[in-house]
Structure formats: C-alpha cells, structure tokens
Amino acid sequence: MNLIEFIKKLIRDFFIIFALIVISLTITRQIFQPNDSIELRDMYIYMICSLIVDLLSLIFYSERSISEKEMWIRRIIHFFVLEAALLILANLVGSISGIGGIVLLQFQIAVIYISVLFISWTYDKKTTDKINEKLKAMRDEL
C-alpha cells in the first residue's frame, strides 16, 4: 500500500474510531452514570484519543507486502500499545478512577478495536470483490 492510500485509510479510520468512541461512551454512561452528561471538554478528549489511536496505526504501514502472520503480530503489538497509551491518557486527564474504571475502559477499547477491525474488513472485502468482478469481466472479454 502506498503512503497516499494509507493516509486516506487513516483519515477514514479516524472518523470511524471517533464515532465508535462517542457511541460506546454514550451507552456506558447511560448505563453506569445516567446523571452525567457529555461535555465539550469530553468531546475534545475523544478527538485526541481518536487521533492517538489512529496515529498508532502507523505500526501497520509497510511499503512491501507483509504476511498474514506479520499482520497479526502487528495487530497484537498495536492493541497493547494502544491500551497502554489510552490508559495513560485517561489517567492524566482524570477520566478514570479505581479498578472498575480501568476495567471498563479496557473493555471499551477492546470492543471499539474489534468493531473497527470488522468495519475495515467489511470495507476492504467490498473493494476486493469489486476488483475481482472487474478482473473476471476483463477475463471473460478475452
């Protein structure tokens, strides 16, 4: 994947991540802290978190083609670096307290991470299917 395509993917993923963070935190706040509302400061924190998560995706960038095994190793490394970075950030801004808050945040990160992987996989599968259809049509014409 060239750098321009990778940057386009980063921008797309930023908005997906941001949306999933807002949705996830809205639902969990509604369940666990129904009297709290989301403030403008919170939205900025979510944007910063989304940006950090997205920039950490640079772990996946490679000019050469990488194997499936290498990709899974990078995903595992990315997930743990991501968990650490977001837990540190959440601690710095004071948005988590106690073991329950840490566990809840880790759960939210895992759910969002898996959701982003699924959405990206779905999008990439659609793109692959379109390319395969065009190749089949070209082959049939010959």
What phi and psi, each to the nearest 5 degrees, are found at residue 63?
-75, -25
Q: What's the token pair of residue 125?
A: 């599968």
pLDDT in tens, 88-116: 888 888 878 788 888 888 888 888 888 87
Domain count, the chain: 1
Alpha carbons within 13 angstroms on the beta-carbon side of residue 108 total 25
Pairwise CA distance, residues 6 & 137, whole Å: 28
Query: Token match 């797309």: residue?
Result: 12
pLDDT in tens, 45-69: 889 888 988 888 888 888 888 888 9
Domain of 22, in residue numbers: 3-141
pLDDT of residue 26: 84
